[in-house]
Structure 1
Amino acid sequence: MSENPPLHIVSGKGGTGKTTVAAALAIALAEGGRRVLLCEVEGRQGLAQLFDVAPLPYEERRVSVGLDGGEVYALAIDPESALLEYLQMFYRLGRAGRALDRFGIIDFATTIAPGVRDVLLTGKVYEAAARTGEGAYDAIVMDAPPTGRITRFLNVNAEVAGLAKAGPIRRQADSIMSMLRSGTTRVHLVSVLEEMPVQETLDGVADLIAADLPVGHVILNLVRSQLLSAGTRSALESGALVTADVARSLGSAALDPAAADALLESGLATVERQELQAAQREAIEAADRPTAELPYLPDGIDLGALFDLAQRLRDEVLVEPAR
């Protein structure tokens, strides 16, 4: 049996930019002519917005090139379409399966049995990873649910244990868990350097390890650069730099001295923010996981920015070399 292609699962607390990171990672992986599949499973159409394309259907669509060539395909996986495909694949229901959908049976089934829903969502990723020949991918990236739900979402075997002791669903769950725990899979957690996201990330790392799921990098996103010199920072912290000093400096530079108070206040806020970042970075480092950092981009995210972030991910050795 051939080894599955690398599977990179990207999770993170809401607002940390996990979808952006997943997209940048896919672009980084799709270098040198490689084909990469980028999947989303939450029904938000975040990838379509990010790549500025029409809402993604339940089929693989090319959305970007990669670094130095290659192709990125995107797929929005929804449980209803996945269940119809599953019924056709294992039970040959075809038209009958679509009739069930009209009666709302599929929505009912995936609502009362969330474990089955997760099997269907991850099962589509498993199917793509198992392909060989035409249509096969060199790597797969999943934009996964948030950190607070990621371990339960991925631990599909435990989720269906009470629902299916045997049969196709159980076999599917067992196959998925083998893929998720394989040496080619990594679960990356995206965080920003703030207390709540960092704590949720640390909890997520612990939960994943306890479930025997492979933790990859902690990706620190939206990191603000050091704007102040060591001397200026020291003067602000000690109170040695006062409004009169700032006003004189502004006047010498032919700028409005009246802006001194606002500038001094902004400087103190910057020092406080940098101290917060430093403290949270220490907390992340204590978890002893490999990390990568992505900068805060004041102009927002467009395709050019995604390529810049992809380059940084590659340069920080987040992406394995082509096999």
Structure 2
Amino acid sequence: MDTSTSVTYDSSLQISQFILMGLPGIHEWQHWLSLPLTLLYLLAPGANLLIIITIQHETVLHEPMYHLLGILAVVDIGLATTIMPKILAIFWFDAKAISLPMCFAEIYAIHCFFCIESGIFLCMAVDRYIAICRPLQYPSIVTKAFVFKATGFIMLKNGLLTIPVPILAAQRHYCSRNEIEHCLCSNLGVISLACDDITVNKFYQLMLAWVLVGSDMALIFSSYAVILHSVLRLNSAEAMSKALSTCNSHLILILFYTGIIVLSVTHLAEKKIPLIPVFLNVLHNVIPPALNPLACALRMHKLRLGFQRLLGLGQDVSK
């Protein structure tokens, strides 16, 4: 047996920090991206906070659908706040260094928030399915208690299932390379620097993407397929339009989340196009939190009126 590995894995060679290089291939001018990313970052917490305040302020919005939207807004604020300050610090101040514990914590936060968002979208799809396909049973099934129990279960389940991701990454030995071709601590970007075997890490990452998030997406699209089938059977064009209008904003958002599966497959297949998965990962974590309020809330009539009333620009939302 080769004993040279005992030197390779000597604890004295363990690195103490990672260096986030930014977007691969465009390091020289990536700082120009800081302006649009800053605008998106300011939009994400600002617009989502406005949604939360409006829903809490207007009693007419104390309905399950709006409670789900409020919970989604909280998760979006958490996701954007987790990654954007460090990305902007890299672009503005060249602050590329990050300690190992902070990097592993970021890995957990990104995976946790993303998986919770996937579960919230599933709840929203179920809510629309029952409202459109089982309207008479909707008030008795989808209650405030149901919403909070479902979201509580999702947060607990997905929070626990994502814990092994940073733990497995922390168990790897990083003995030489510490430069990550990314502007955030992606799990696959970090473990690719390990000196020992990362098969179990890749397997769990793939399982999390396909089994957890993939199953959510499959159920979501199945729900909307049933909804579409039911809507097409309606005789009234007005009723059909109203039913579809409650779903299309959700579908726009869900399309962003299919990108994470493409991202995982691209990394695991070790494609020689590093900019594409890295840029996809950044956009996937930045754009949805900023667009959720625009794609969902602004298409909901009651919530729009709630915004106007809160800002002193409109009439009572109950009218």
TM range, smaller chain: under 0.3
- Of structures 1 and 2, the one scoring higher in RCO (CA 8 A, sep 6+) is 2
TM-score for both structures, normalised by structure 2: 0.23
Normalised by the size of structure 1, how large is the TM-score? 0.23
Query: Which structure shows the bigger proportion of residues in strand conformation?
Result: 1
Could you say which structure has the higher helix fraction? 2
